Amino acid sequence: MLKRLSVTFAVLMVGACATPPQTQVLVNENKVLQGQLAEASSRVSRLEADNRLKQQEIDELGRVLGVLDTEKSSRVQESSVLRGQVRNFIQDQIDSLKGFLVLGDLLDYIGGELVERALVEDKSLLLVDLANPIPRNGALTGVGAHFSRASPLVVKVLRPAGDQLVVIWESKTIVVREAGPMRYDFPVTVGLEQGDYLGYYFPETTGVSFDEGTSDVRYMTRDVRLGENIRKSSLLGDNKKRAYSIGVYGLLN
Q: What is the pLDDT of residues 211-220, one digit of tens each?
A: 999 999 999 9
Q: Which residues are paired to 197 by β-bridges?
A: 158
Does residue 1 sit in the same domain as residue 91? yes
**Residues in contact with 135: Cβ distance below 8 Å, sequence separation at least 6, in sequence order:** 110, 194, 252
Does residue 45 sit in the same domain as residue 61? yes
Q: What is the pLDDT of residues 134-149, one digit of tens each?
A: 999 999 999 999 999 9
Does residue 81 sit in the same domain as residue 126? no
Residue that terminates a domain, selected from 50, 80, 106: 106
Averaged confidence pLDDT in the chain: 85
Give dist(CA 250, CA 183) in Å, integer: 12
Q: What is the pLDDT of residues 145-167, one digit of tens each?
A: 999 999 999 999 999 998 899 99
Does residue 127 sit in the same domain as residue 232? yes
pLDDT of 54: 86
Does residue 224 sit in the same domain as residue 133? yes
CATH number for the domain spanning 237: value is 2.60.120
Neighbours of 126 (CB within 10 A): 22
Does residue 90 sit in the same domain as residue 24? yes
Q: How many residues does the chain have?
A: 253
**Residues in contact with 157: Cβ distance below 8 Å, sequence separation at least 6, in sequence order:** 140, 167, 168, 169, 170, 190, 192, 196, 197, 198, 199
State how many domains the chain has.
2
Does residue 63 sit in the same domain as residue 25? yes
Residue that terminates a domain, selected from 106, 140, 158: 106
Residue that terminates a domain, selected from 82, 106, 130: 106
End-to-end distance of the chain based on CA atoms, in angstroms? 134
pTM of the model: 0.62
Does residue 49 sit in the same domain as residue 136? no
Tell me the residue range of the domain where 100 lies. 1-106
Does residue 99 sit in the same domain as residue 206? no
Does residue 94 sit in the same domain as residue 144? no
pLDDT of 88: 77
Q: Is the pLDDT of residue 52 over 90?
A: no
